[in-house]
């Protein structure tokens, strides 16, 4: 089979488009050159192309998952200054970045004062999960409670709960900044209790567990929730003063 190389190349591109293999489309010329130079077998060449396609698909899915998560900004573990948080173990976070807690449907609780990196860590863990193709959603607790309350008003709370249930990781940020009313507290409780042992959840809060009763308004509800969450949760405690304030003071 000897055809003009350029015509073959055009046909390859057309077939790849038809078969929706854009990853191979991008690289096959370069991979072909490398294969010739290094004397790869045809099978090695084929394998490399297929792997490139898989990789590019994974990237696409990961990008979509990150987009869908609705992070307020993109923060990564690499950007986290562990030196500023001696109580937060880098090894532990690296372990959590492997996302076994997602598969085990555990909760991660990030607890500590304002400005100490809880949201940063929550987003970073969410990004790791999204990169592993897990469905992730980020909400400020107050926002989700508002959404739930609205849905309830419109008789659509079951629909919203079902939608939330599809997320393998739900990140609830800043629980405790603003107390909920009774309805809001109950709705949020139902979401969290429903995820227990079925889905992973990340919660960040500037309140100590003993203060959660204030947010949920009801001690019994809170005790039940903490019982469930706490049982198998990974608790990461941040401490000290606000990272930014500290940096500003250092720079003065
Ligand atoms: P919190 O949620 O605990 O109030 P944030 O995660 O929002 O704190 O942190 C406030 C800002 O400071 C963010 O821009 C965050 O990226 C940054 N920050 C906080 N702690 C660290 C840290 N240890 N290393 C790098 N950046 C940090
Ligand atoms: Mg925060």
- 3-state SS record for the chain: CCCCHHHHHHHHHHHHHHCCCHHHHHHHHHHHHHHHHHCCCHHHHHHHHHHHHHHHHHHHHHHHHHHHHCCCCCCCCCCCCHHHCCCCCHHHHHHHHCCHHHHCCCEEEEECCCCCCHHHHHHHHHHHHHHCCCCEEEEEHHHHHHHHHHHHHCCCHHHHHHHHHCCCEEEEEEECCCCCCHHHHHHHHHHHHHHCCCCEEEEEECCCHHHHHHHHCCHHHHHHHHHHHHHCCEEEECCCCCHHHHHHHHHC
Predicted structure pTM score = 0.83
pLDDT, greater one: 130 or 219: 130
What are the distances in angstroms from CA 64 to CA 23, 59, 89? 16, 9, 30
Which ligand is the nearest neighbour of the Cα of 140?
2
How confident is the prediction for the chain on average, in pLDDT? 92
**What number is the average pLDDT over the span 201-217?**
86
pLDDT in the model for residue 197: 87
Whole-angstrom distance, CA of residue 75 vs CA of residue 59: 18
| Centroid of ligand 1 to alpha carbon of 207 (angstroms) | 17
**What number is the average pLDDT over the span 25-36?**
95
pLDDT in the model for residue 87: 92
Q: What residue owns the CA closest to ligand 1's atom 14?
A: 120
Is 120 close to ligand 1, i.e. is its CB under 6 Å away? Answer: yes
Which ligand is the nearest neighbour of the Cα of 120?
1
163-167, 194-198, 220-224: which has the minimum mean pLDDT?
Answer: 220-224
Closest ligand 1 atom, residue 110 Cα: 3
pLDDT in the model for residue 1: 60
pLDDT in the model for residue 100: 97
38 falls in which pLDDT band (50, 70, 90)?
very high
Residue of 203, 243, 244, 249 with the most ligand 1 atoms within 8 Å of its CB, for mutation: 243
**What number is the average pLDDT over the span 88-95?**
96
pLDDT score of 217 more than 80: no
Q: What percent of the chain has pLDDT over 90?
A: 73
pLDDT tens digit sequence for 142-179: 999 999 999 999 999 999 999 999 999 999 999 988 77
């Amino acid at each position: 089979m000897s055809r003009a190389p350029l015509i073959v190349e055009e046909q390859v591109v057309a077939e790849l488009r038809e078969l929706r293999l854009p990853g191979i489309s991008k690289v096959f010329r370069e991979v072909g050159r490398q294969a010739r130079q290094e004397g790869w077998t045809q099978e090695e060449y084929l394998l490399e192309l297929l792997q490139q396609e898989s990789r590019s698909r994974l990237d696409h899915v990961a990008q979509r998952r990150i987009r869908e998560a609705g992070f307020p900004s993109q923060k990564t573990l690499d950007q986290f200054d562990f030196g500023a948080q001696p109580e937060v173990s880098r090894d532990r976070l690296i372990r959590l970045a492997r996302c076994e807690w997602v598969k085990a449907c555990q909760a991660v609780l990030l607890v500590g004062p304002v400005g100490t990196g809880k949201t940063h860590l929550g987003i970073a863990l969410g990004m790791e999960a999204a990169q592993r193709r897990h469905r992730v959603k980020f909400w400020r607790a107050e926002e989700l409670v508002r959404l739930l309350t609205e849905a309830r008003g419109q008789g659509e709370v079951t629909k919203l709960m079902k939608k939330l249930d599809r997320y393998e990781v739900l990140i609830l940020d800043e629980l405790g900044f603003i107390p909920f009313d009774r309805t809001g507290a109950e709705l949020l409780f139902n979401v969290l209790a429903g995820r227990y042992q079925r889905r992973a959840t990340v919660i960040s809060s500037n309140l100590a567990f003993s203060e959660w009763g204030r947010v949920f308004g009801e001690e019994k509800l809170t005790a039940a929730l903490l019982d469930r969450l706490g049982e198998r949760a990974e608790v990461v405690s941040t401490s000290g003063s606000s990272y930014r304030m500290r940096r500003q003071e250092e720079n003065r």
